[in-house]
Structure 1
Amino acid sequence: MIHPNSEISEFDIIIIGATGDLSIRKIIPALFKRYADGQIPEKSKIYCLARQKLDNSSFTQKISQQNKIDFKNSKILREFFDKINYLCIDIKSPDSKNLFSLQNKLTKDRVRLFYLATAPELFGVSAQFIRENNLANNKTRIIVEKPIGKDLISAIDINKALNSYFDEDQIYRIDHYLGKETVQNLMVMRFANQLFEAHWNNNSISNVQITVSEEIGIKGRENYYDSYGAIKDMMQNHILQLVCLVAMEPPSKFDANLVRDEKLKVLQSLKKIEDLNEICIGQYGLKNDDEDQIASYTQDSKKHDSKTETFVALIAKIDNWRWAGVPFFLRTGKRLKTRASEIVITFKPIQHFIFDKTEKNNTLPNQLIIRLQPDEGLKILLMSKEPGPGGIRISPSYLNLSFSDTFKNKIPDAYERLLMDVVRGNQTLFMRKDEVEAAWSWIDPIISLIKKNNRLPETYIPKSWGPTSSFDLLKRHGFEWCEPHY
């Protein structure tokens, strides 16, 4: 196991698809922040490959404009931009002059990262380009971003294409949710505290809820989103990875493959959903009132007959000893009330209430609330005595750990953490191919069930918490959604 604070060695990073949104808005800003914090060695270089005919100056200007950075007022930013080499290269038919220039610039024995910031169908082509043009060395690492395929078959094809040119231990499938401090803290909280792990089972836990809500619509992603939808875009990867971290068994030690072995077991234990009543899908409609004018999904996508879901809620059940009988309520959607990502673990009520029966109505089940965004932190809902004379009055109260308030150091962006993990060769927070394929094996039948029954998405109002049927879904099981703590 590589220590997470181990020294960063010199490295080169080559971004393929460097003019795209992922590169401009996520990868390069994350590298800049690590450089500004002194974590990127002075001799490390950034090579940006794309088809657009740009020079270094116009490319860095593009970065500044899209991230609203004043280039002139930052000495550190100018130093960082000096590390960038832009090369106009089409990976399908590379220009021999620019390719030769890249081959000569790469340092032979340095860690070499290739970030494939391209469409998934180009992952195999990119891997072939790297290998056949002798750009890889014995310290090469390949980074790919979700989505890994549109279904199980395409995911297997992508994984086979990558593995044709690189070993599995060289491939880093990134899910930026796993780079969030709170997500990592979930493992520490579970496995380093007897207080939680002793009660982390169906004897003590009533239900688990995971909500990933977005205020935004699909602007700029119309074509992508209409061919994927909420189930493939969010449920298959981000949310199922969170389920794994909540539900996994403790590994024998904190080792990348041992952690991923346990996550895989969770995915393989997910019970197939065969009842359509355990799934709710929705699509945001039009909101046009005195407060807001928000276009509908069909207006945003310019596809007026689109049946793509922008919201999904479902009940997942894990068929194993620890979690049998505990429902996992999962939901995600666009144009919801607020941007929030939260895991809520609700514990069972106490078995015997010793206080005045009139106070029983004031009690709530204990909850552990894990906030991923916008403000990362943990909250624990406890029952406590209200201060003052006149007997015992019980009321809910929270123990609150806000990372931004508690820790003085700035919390790194998820991409910052994950990129440095790739440099270190630490694969703990990255998905293995069998995880990806197991997730699709569970998701594909859900999509087939919806299509087979011609289930259409229910329209919901933007800035709400989604379709009415999503609330009915929980009511039928005797529960209700926990509204995110924002």
Structure 2
Amino acid sequence: MVIFGASGDLTKRKLMPALYSLHRENRIKGDYRVMGVSRTAYTDETFQAYIRQELEKFIPAEEQDAALMDEFVTHLHYESMEMGEGALSHYENLKARLQDLAGSKELDNLLFYLATPPSLYSQIPVNLKETGLNVKNARIIVEKPFGYNLESAQELNEIYRAAFREDQIYRIDHFLGKETAQNILAFRFANGIFEPLWNRNYIDYVEITAVENLGIENRGGFYDGTGALRDMVQNHLIQLVALTAMEPPAIFDADSFRNEVVKVYDSLIPLKDNEFDDHVVRGQYVANGDKKGYREEKGVAADSRTETYIAMKIGFGNWRWSGVPFYIRTGKQMPTKVTEIVVHFKPTPNQMFQCTEGACPTANKLILRIQPNEGTVLKFGMKVPGSGFNIKQVEMDFTYDRLGGTKVGDAYSRLIEDCILGDQTLFTRSDAVESSWKYFDPVIKHFDETPKFPLYGYPAGTWGPRESEDLMNIDNASWTNPCKNLTNTDQYCEL
């Protein structure tokens, strides 16, 4: 395995702990080697020492085993090199190092991981091809974002097709590696009581939230040229939309599953020029107490109009979901970190029970929580004991921590192992990337071509602009975690 960008945050925080987990559980067989590649001047020994130290920071204490960690880092090697344009001789040196490690074996069983800035995504596969490292059984994992817009995504696909076969390319989205994201499929298709209700006849609307209680974490240079839509919506959130909205695959294999994902993207109804104001709300966090505003972050322009929050209303032109709005939102500096899907069922056709003490019977609600406290909650009405027929909404819930010691697997461990095994089910196919961009590209162009398109400020630590509530109120809907204490003069909601 060759990790490009081995001195970066992704490698030390996610990839090395994931590989250690596979090593610890004996899920990587044989005398494997991991070659770290970046510009930093490490040797094999200093790189091993660096990773050994970082493992103690990013591996849960209960999973740390000093002897196993010492053994794991002996599998690590390092090559200091340039990775971009004009670095062909460096790739020749890398090839020689890999052949030296392989000894007399044919240099064929290679896995490349691009944990680099996106600017290198188009250059690394070209160099691998030029030096003959794109061997028959090689595989390459590419992080998101895959492209900056539709045109760049199509160009990247052409570059990768010229160097690798599609079955060698693994476009990774770590959200799909989470057990709870995969459980959406099991929940829908393994239980006969929900699938008959999973359509426009019984569901009123769906909301999907993926928010964080942190800012941009010293990524200002990257984030200010990206924004929430490119960073989260076009990949993570739309993947969760696909899992929620897709049809059952005829058989559960990589091609059948990914065919249904593409059908979901193809059925998205494009926004017209006069619909953006009613379907999209953008926000940017501002200073609040000891929390600084986005424009005060390192690497961010003082007059930046990059969104750190975005909420959208999307619709489908297909039989199952016609007329059912899906509301999606993501944001930085929210009150908490949560990723969840909330399915709002339609209310009963005739409400025979009256409101009492300010509380009214409410429609059923199903919550599929990806993180934290992973699990499922079903909300339904029950009679309150005593005289009369007072109805109160109660919860029936399940969380993974109730499985009695069963570990919720690490997303990167699962996806790296799938790549080793050649299973592409949870990786994005080229046509899905392009289909997703076809929907979001006009939205990005509208932002770029309409300087006056609103960008609302919201205090860091709140649930975002009040206008995101208005987005849903048009359909008599509301977010599960709504803005509170609003007045007519508020430009945002208070914590």
| TM-score normalised over the length of structure 2 | 0.90
Aligned residue in 1 for 2:492? none
Deviation of residue 477 (structure 1)?
Answer: 2.0
Aligned residue in 1 for 2:241? 243
- Structure 1 Cα separation of the partners of residues 449 and 2 of structure 2: 44
Larger mean Cα displacement after TM superposition, 438-447 or 448-457 = 448-457
Q: Does 1:287 align with 2:288?
A: yes
Q: Deviations over 1:392-450 (max 9, x none)?
A: 43211111110122252211111111111111111111000111111111111112223
Larger mean Cα displacement after TM superposition, 454-463 or 315-324 = 454-463
Aligned residue in 1 for 2:81? 89
In structure 2, stretches of 5+ residues that fail to align are 483-495
Closer/same/farther in 2, CA of residues 97 and 120 from structure 1, 3 Å limit? closer
Q: Counterparts in 2 of 1:42-53, with a 5 A limit?
A: 42-53=30-41
Larger mean Cα displacement after TM superposition, 25-34 or 401-410 = 401-410
- Structure 2 Cα separation of the partners of residues 373 and 40 of structure 1: 27
Q: Which residue, 111, 116, 119 being the options, matches 2:117? A: 119
Aligned residue in 1 for 2:490? none
Aligned residue in 1 for 2:220? 222
Larger mean Cα displacement after TM superposition, 136-145 or 409-418 = 136-145
**Partner SS for 2:339:** strand
Q: Counterparts in 2 of 1:32-431, with a 5 A limit?
A: 32-69=20-57, 74-91=66-83, 92-95=87-90, 96-106=92-102, 107-108=105-106, 111-274=109-272, 275=275, 276-288=277-289, 293-300=290-297, 301-355=299-353, 361-386=359-384, 388-431=385-428
RMSD of aligned Cα (Å): 2.1
Aligned residue in 2 for 1:466? 464
Q: Deviations over 1:162-221 (max 9, x none)?
A: 110101111000000011111111111111111111000000000000011011111221
Q: Is the 8 A contact 1:109 1:139 kept in 2?
A: no
Q: Is the 8 A contact 2:88 2:131 kept in 1?
A: no
- Structure 1 Cα separation of the partners of residues 89 and 184 of structure 2: 45
Q: Is the 8 A contact 1:88 1:98 kept in 2?
A: no
Q: Is the 8 A contact 1:259 1:428 kept in 2?
A: yes
Q: Which has the higher contact order (CA 8 A, sep 6+)?
A: 1
Q: Which residue, 440, 443, 454 being the options, matches 1:443? A: 440
Amino acid at match of 2:365: Q
Q: Is the 8 A contact 2:286 2:293 kept in 1?
A: yes
- Structure 2 Cα separation of the partners of residues 463 and 389 of structure 1: 41
Deviation of residue 147 (structure 1)?
Answer: 0.4
Aligned residue in 1 for 2:485? none
Deviation of residue 325 (structure 1)?
Answer: 0.8
Q: Is the 8 A contact 2:295 2:302 kept in 1?
A: yes
**Partner SS for 1:294:** coil
Amino-acid identity (%): 38
Q: Does 1:28 align with 2:24?
A: no
Closer/same/farther in 2, CA of residues 163 and 400 from structure 1, 3 Å limit? same
Deviation of residue 18 (structure 1)?
Answer: 1.1
Amino acid at match of 2:426: L
Closer/same/farther in 2, CA of residues 480 and 229 from structure 1, 3 Å limit? same
In structure 1, stretches of 5+ residues that fail to align are 1-12
**Partner SS for 1:351:** coil
- Structure 2 Cα separation of the partners of residues 394 and 413 of structure 1: 41
Larger mean Cα displacement after TM superposition, 22-31 or 69-78 = 69-78
Deviation of residue 389 (structure 1)?
Answer: 4.3
Amino acid at match of 1:283: Q
Closer/same/farther in 2, CA of residues 73 and 247 from structure 1, 3 Å limit? closer
**Partner SS for 1:194:** coil
Q: Deviations over 1:12-57 (max 9, x none)?
A: x111121122222111111111211221224122111122221123
Closer/same/farther in 2, CA of residues 303 and 192 from structure 1, 3 Å limit? same
- Structure 1 Cα separation of the partners of residues 288 and 89 of structure 2: 48
Q: Is the 8 A contact 1:315 1:327 kept in 2?
A: yes
**Partner SS for 2:350:** coil
- Structure 1 Cα separation of the partners of residues 425 and 338 of structure 2: 25
- Structure 2 Cα separation of the partners of residues 94 and 29 of structure 1: 31
Amino acid at match of 2:96: F
Aligned residue in 2 for 1:10? none
Q: Deviations over 1:222-273 (max 9, x none)?
A: 1110001001111111001111111111111101111111111111111112
Deviation of residue 138 (structure 1)?
Answer: 2.7
**Partner SS for 2:123:** helix
Q: Segments of 4+ in structure 1 off by > 6 A?
A: 70-73
- Structure 2 Cα separation of the partners of residues 94 and 349 of structure 1: 66
Amino acid at match of 1:83: H
**Partner SS for 1:53:** coil
- Structure 2 Cα separation of the partners of residues 140 and 422 of structure 1: 10
Q: Is the 8 A contact 2:181 2:370 kept in 1?
A: yes
Q: Deviations over 1:38-86 (max 9, x none)?
A: 2122412211112222112321333344454499971110000011111
Q: Is the 8 A contact 2:99 2:107 kept in 1?
A: no
Q: Deviations over 1:373-403 (max 9, x none)?
A: 11211111111233x4435432111111101
- Structure 1 Cα separation of the partners of residues 338 and 57 of structure 2: 27
- Structure 2 Cα separation of the partners of residues 310 and 346 of structure 1: 26
| TM-score normalised over the length of structure 1 | 0.91
**Partner SS for 1:198:** helix
**Partner SS for 1:23:** helix
- Structure 1 Cα separation of the partners of residues 123 and 417 of structure 2: 25
Closer/same/farther in 2, CA of residues 408 and 207 from structure 1, 3 Å limit? same
Amino acid at match of 2:424: Q
**Partner SS for 1:29:** helix
- Structure 2 Cα separation of the partners of residues 108 and 183 of structure 1: 38
Closer/same/farther in 2, CA of residues 203 and 409 from structure 1, 3 Å limit? same
Deviation of residue 111 (structure 1)?
Answer: 3.9
**Partner SS for 1:63:** helix
